Amino acid sequence: MSDVKKLYIKTYGCQMNVYDSERMAEVMGGSGYVTTDSPDDADMILLNTCHIREKAAEKVYSELGRFKPLKAAKPDLKIGVAGCVAQAEGEEIMARQPLVDLVVGPQSYHRLPQLEAKARAGGKALDTDFPEEDKFEKLKDRPKAQRGPTAFLTVQEGCDKFCAFCVVPYTRGAEVSRPVDRILAEARDLVERGVREITLLGQNVNAYHGAGPDGDWTLAQLIWALDKVDGLERIRFTTSHPNDMSDDLIAAHGECSKLMPYLHLPVQSGSNKILKRMNRSHTAESYLKLIERIREARPDILMSGDFIVGFPEETEADFQDTMELIRAVNYGQAFSFKYSTRPGTPAAERAQVDDAEASDRLTRLQALITQQQRAVQDSMVGREVQVLFEKPGRLDGQMVGKSEYLHAVHVADAQAARGDIARVRIVESGPNSLAGVLA
Ligand code: 5AD
Ligand code: SF4
């Protein structure tokens, strides 16, 4: 028997989980694991979970149940739960699902090899600490494998904002920024491995304040340093909080050509009463004013957002305020959710909105968003955009990539390779993507 073991990781939730799963795969490479796309031949299964909304955690439990026959057929199979459900529920997971051998919170991924060894020795391994040491430093020892043209890079983690509905400050912990030199080194390494677009990640990315050569740097300073990295063509960042949109960051949107004209800036609600109860510490007016300033700096920027409907005590009038704000902004993209109670958060104690009413509001809001999204997408027809090609399309000779505005663009007869950037004239707008021809 060979010593190579197979690791299957299933990732739920946000882009930071995608990044974390890559790091976990790399650190387990040191313990003799290679990744596999199927749980069937795995020696270890890791679910990298999301706790942001109810259904996310429920999906994890039902997925775990499905592994029962696999474990029965292969008693050596180790099953682990990582991510925010692991952090929030800890030992409860093992109690609820005895199949689980290992539970690891997001701040302890660098300790995964030891946890795996403990599980392999027949024990149950749990680590949901918030350790002092720098997780990222311990995770960075990785093979120089070639990468696709786009990559995520975590620059900041955790959140101190404590929005009344949100588990992130509890599962990801206090806000921490990585030092500038480590981020630049990681970015250069990614570029050497074929990456042309980097999305800087953080739960509160624009609150970034990492140690630089001359004191703490802002996110804008970091973006300007990345702008100078040869071979890196595009920079994006997500997710931002309206209150941390500093002047230098707004200005960078107008001045830094590598910074893409797309901004995800969640507002959650358009009602000042609800915003206050959400502990958002901004108003609908201040948000609209901010967007006006961002559009002054970069008129063609595509705005994206997040919305929660049915937050405790939200009335139809509050909901109409949200619809009004959406009309005022004109979003090119938005994500919307029905409020879901997160145990341990302040809003969990409050009177809930009737579920059918909340569902109805969500349907109406999504209809409006879809309409705006489609109109913004349709307005691209006839325009020229720059497309970074990511993969071949389904048709022969076709390539698929993303425009500056993050629209998926299909180009027939593209004569391009993955990682190429080409000028493309948009000729058609479909339900989920654009079609174009080389300009
Ligand atoms: N219920 C519904 N949506 C939520 N979000 C965060 N917490 C909750 C919750 N308890 C949404 C917010 C956030 C996005 C990532 O998820 O809109 O911006
Ligand atoms: Fe959660 Fe974002 Fe609010 Fe932080 S700012 S508590 S991550 S919703």
What is the torsion angle, in degrees rounded to the nearest 10, for the CA atoms of residue 317, residue 319, residue 320 and residue 323?
A: 170
Contact 326, 270 (CB under 8 A): yes
* Ligand 1 atom closest to the CA of 338, numbered from 1: 2
**Interatomic CA distance for residues 272 and 283, integer angstroms:** 5
List of domains in the chain? 5-127 (3.40.50.12160), 135-378 (3.80.30.20), 384-438 (2.40.50.140)
Paired tokens of 72: 């029965």
Say which DSSP state 348 is in. Answer: G
- Is residue 1 over pLDDT 50? no
At residue 311, the pLDDT reads: 98
Nearest to 280 by CA among 328, 183, 346: 346
Q: Where residue 3 falls among pLDDT bands split at 50, 70, 90?
A: confident
* Amino acid making up residue 427: V
Q: How far is the CA of 161 from the centre of ligand 2 (A)?
A: 6
If phi > 0 it is left, if psi is from -120 to 50 it is alpha, else beta; for residue 171 that is alpha
pLDDT band at 143 (very low <50, low <70, confident <90, very high): low
pLDDT per residue over 248-295, tens digit each? 999 999 999 999 999 999 999 999 999 999 999 999 999 999 999 999
Could you tell me if the CB of 64 is within 6 A of ligand 2?
no
Calpha distance 218→220 (Å, rounded): 5
Strand 176-177 vs strand 156-157: parallel, antiparallel, or unpaired?
A: antiparallel
Bridge partner residues of 199 (DSSP): 152, 236
Question: How far is C-alpha 140 from the geometric centre of its chain's CA atoms?
Answer: 20
How many other C-beta atoms lie within 10 A of the C-beta of residue 354?
A: 9
Q: What is the overall mean pLDDT for the chain?
A: 95
Q: Distances in Å between the alpha carbon of 382 and those of 240, 406, 434? A: 31, 17, 11
Could you tell which of 15, 165, 326 is best to mutate to test the pocket of ligand 1, judged by most ligand atoms within 8 Å of the CB?
165
Ligand 1, residues 52, 84, 241: which to mutate, most atoms within 8 A of Cβ?
A: 52
